[in-house]
Structure 1
Amino acid sequence: MTDHPSTYRAADTHREGIQWDDRASLHRNDDGGGVLDGAKGVRKGTFAEMIRFVMMLPEGERSQYHIQKAGDREYSYAEIADLATQEGFPAA
């Protein structure tokens, strides 16, 4: 998994495309967020692993979750489903 800055003096911290190996965590939509939000993650791993996990859930449960990716970016189920179908999405 990547952590930033990734080089000495942070000269190469921006990489093009989706960083599938960034740190990510799966959260329930109703977990309340807040100061201790990081501790409320249901599962942790790479961004690609979290997308795969959500897509393996029963269809009726998928929309109950979101992914928080490194850099405080939150992905809704609609975004997760779209990313899972992208050509560059890594195979399991």
Structure 2
Amino acid sequence: MSDPDQRSEAVTSTSNRPSSGDLPTIAYQTRSGERRRVRYERVATEPWNVERRVDRWDADESEWVPCGGEALSQLVIDDEHRAAVTVTESP
């Protein structure tokens, strides 16, 4: 088991759901004081696909700066799949 004082855990967090979509943004601050934000966004040309984007707070510039991201194969929020769905047309 790891020492709780050595772990980099979130001590504060916020979550919101943008009015234009159903995917959350989570902002948090680690015990060391580093601020991060994780955004889940639909791919504009493929709305059934989702990407996770991570930003860090740049205090010198007073803005969020991208620092990583990846495409997700699935996303489940509140026990409901939000990505990796099949889109079909009606006959």
With the shorter chain as reference, the TM-score category is under 0.3
State which structure, 1 or 2, has the greater radius of gyration over its C-alpha atoms.
2
TM-score normalised according to structure 2 size? 0.27
- More helix as a share of residues: 1
- More strand as a share of residues: 2
**Which of the pair has the greater relative contact order for Cα pairs under 8 Å at 6+ separation?**
1
TM-score normalised according to structure 1 size? 0.27
